Structure 1
């Protein structure tokens, strides 16, 4: 037993990661990181979640849920920024915790993130499909119901064909190299922010202040709608918007100056993204009563069309289609880097840790593509939205607490951080506690899924990972 415990707490040597990740070419700048982060944050979530969360949980108080989620994500982003500036390795939380706490804790956080990534890829692809279908319908084109959504026999939908095609397209694009992708991302993000601003300006002219009353609807007993319960449930669901933080951090090994660029990219994404979320949600619930957005995956374009702004609605739909595709690129890229990290460390089969002649972890990338196709093709959009935040919150909790293991080693056996989490030692535990409270507000489906996912992860680690770990077999 003591030998097993020793193995679980065995820490990885940072030099191992530095050596293995040298095959990943550092090319990302602060501008590229902002593009990746905002491509994720101001992506599917901003075009879809404000309406869904308002209808299912909060009413007009959806803005409060965004603010609460931003506070939790903001505290965690400080921890992420310090970690990334000291340990710029692929795999983000998985690699950091393997160095600081031991391989087992790295596996737990990485496994949680893997669930988040797989579901996120599917969620983003489903959001893209919803906007594409809405746009095609506005042109008089309509797909058969059978291929218009995840499996739901009562509605006659069986597979989301457009989501599958989107994932295949992104997989093909990323297999061609990431340099071109980052330039495309930067351009798309700029266009997307301009059009989101246009929605705010045009939509504000159609606001009816009566739609804000009551701003916080009373709680409905036995449900997660209304009152403080609804706001907390909304904040938990909204946390998907901040998966962009880990997507940025997962690419640390490919950043030119991670000590400076990573903190700027992380914190800049938080500030800009949250500002847009608050403004969009305020305008959206002011244009129509929140109940109109129930089960509506394209609420912003829908609201514009139903106020007579057809040109702006179609422009928004086109940009949302392109912008959500950009978000899909970002999360798909991060997913492949995490799987590559597992293969690199021997915790999953070694072929996942290999790169091709273009320095792309192509095997990991292809596995993400195949897995995401099955999830996105057959699971309904709103179900995915309820599940995706769990892995993010687990990672936020563990990374925040790991700052206590990082800080004493800085300037000793690890480099001195160019950015430090403020208000240490109080803020790390506050950040972890905040994320834990949000996690408790998740749906029972999300909690059960995460429990089942962890059971699978423990089986894989103890049956395969411990035997093949390069750390244990050095």
Structure 2
């Protein structure tokens, strides 16, 4: 039976994680965060980074303990309980299923700002249709140009920061160093800052995705813990630095359209030509990210359908081009919900699923190392009890800082998962189905 070969080095895994995170997303969500935090975007990213570093440590520890594909689902299943593992898999499905929706919604919002005569809904439908068609036909072409897409968005990001610095230096009344991007114009309250951090965590989604590459990574028990921390730290520093200079160039939180505020800022700092370049970079980044996210989600749905956890006839079969057509089409159909949502609501909903998985992985470290392996003495108590407890507390705080709609919808999603599990196990009397999450 064919098996995956370990070929990926530490550098390759880190680059994969950063590409999955899509660094230019910091510009895509800037206006939403500025409005939510009243101008303290950098502060929100620092709070999110601290929480993510503790959780990244937990992911690294579990990847070392269980060097298999499956990420949060596998870790929770092996370390704690089959049923909690299923719930972890269920909330992972929430992320994979709805993440393309947010990606396409951000891209559509910016294209509408550039071409206001074309409705946002039309841009959204175009994103969904083109991306779904590419994924159904196969990713060979997309894979070939993925590196070029990543280079384009990084160049645009560097140019954006450079123009922001030039804009600030050209204004004698504007200091080059200020605490305002961290605290807000009027010292944002802690609840406001944490509400922003809860949404800012959306930008970090993807740092955990590299744990699904366990079976394809050289010396995964050493490489993956380092890679997860490096991806989180590098991504967080990019987000903090970029948001700092953008906030200096555009202080406050008053934007005509918060969902596409960076478009307005790009025009102020670089004129019409740079606006066009910025828009190309952002749309390219969102398009590439959307392809990857939908492909991953379709593959996850196929795995669950193949294992009989979801309807096999609809989702557990491959199409003519050897791609999971049912899962890809379902992902595209779910994205139509974006026609009734804004970026803040959609991203918050996604984050509820991520936070639930993150909380369970922090718990898994305690169960695996502190309780099962009895690693309780000296520094072990710090690494395997205190750190995951801090990570768990930070994640729960962020979760309850989400808006009420996200918590309600997320709670309903969890309730659906529990109901589905009860049905699959005939009232929890039969073994929990085992998923082979090869994403």
TM-score (norm 2): 0.83
Cα 1:360–1:308, aligned 2, differ >3 Å: closer, same or farther?
Answer: closer
Are the counterparts in 2 of residues 346 and 465 from structure 1 also a CA contact under 8 Å?
A: no
CA RMSD of aligned residues (A): 3.5
Give 1:294 shift.
Answer: 5.9
Cα distance per residue 1:275-330 (max 9 Å; x no partner): 22112211222112322336422322321212353322221110111011122123
Q: 1-side partners of 2:212 and 2:8: how far apart?
A: 12
Work out which of the residue numbers 415, 422, 426 in structure 1 matches 2:386.
426
Q: Does 1:117 align with 2:91?
A: no
* Residue of structure 1 equivalent to 2:27: 47
- TM-fit CA distance, 1:410: 10
Distance of aligned partners of 1:361 and 1:405 in 2 relative to their CA distance in 1, 3 Å threshold: farther
- Over 3 Å counting, the alpha-carbon distance change for 1:329 and 1:264 in structure 2 is farther
Cα–Cα, structure 1 residues 421 and 325, in superposed 2: closer, same or farther, change >3 Å?
farther
User: Which residue of the partner structure matches residue 37 of structure 2?
Assistant: 57
Q: Secondary structure at the match of 1:388?
A: helix
Partner of 1:37: 17
Distance in structure 2 (CA, Å) of the matches to 1:421 and 1:273: 28
Partner-residue secondary structure (3-state), 2:208: helix
Instruction: Please give the residue correspondences for 1:346-357 in structure 2 after superposition, counting only pairs within 5 Å.
Output: 346-351=308-313, 352-354=315-317
1:376-414 superposed Cα distances (whole Å, 9 cap, x missing partner): 333233321332211111111101111233337999xxx
Query: How much does 1:234 deviate?
Result: 0.4
In structure 1, distance between residues paired with 2:312 and 2:135: 21
Q: Which runs of 5+ in 2 are unaligned?
A: 374-379
Alignment equivalent of 2:268, drawn from 286, 306, 310: 306
Residue 366 of structure 2 corresponds to residue 400 of structure 1: no
Question: Bigger shift: 374-383 or 118-127?
Answer: 374-383
Deviates most, 245-254 or 273-282 = 245-254
Please state if 1:134 is matched with 2:113.
yes
Indicate whether 1:169 and 2:130 are aligned. yes
Is 1:276 aligned to 2:256, yes or no? Answer: no
| Conserved? CA contact 2:51–2:391, under 8 Å | yes
Q: Matched residue of 2:402: which SS?
A: coil
**Closer/same/farther in 2, CA of residues 183 and 447 from structure 1, 3 Å limit:** same
1:191 to 118, 132, 152: 152
Going from structure 1 to structure 2, the CA distance change for 1:399 and 1:353 (only over 3 Å counts) comes to farther
2 CA distance for matches of 1:268 and 1:44? 18
Task: Tell me the distance in 2 between the aligned counterparts of 1:23 and 1:356.
Answer: 23
Shift of 1:167: 2.6
Aligned to 1:334: 296
Residue in structure 1 matched with residue 376 of structure 2 by the alignment: none
Bigger mean CA deviation after superposition, 50-59 or 170-179: 170-179
Aligned match for 2:196, one of 224, 234, 242: 234
For structure 1, the 5+ residue unaligned runs are: 1-18, 149-159, 220-224, 412-419
Match of 2:327 in 1: 364
How far is the alpha carbon of 1:56 from its aligned partner?
A: 2.2
Shift of 1:332: 1.9
Q: How many residues align?
A: 420
Note the C-alpha offset of 1:83: 2.7
Match of 1:439 in 2: 399
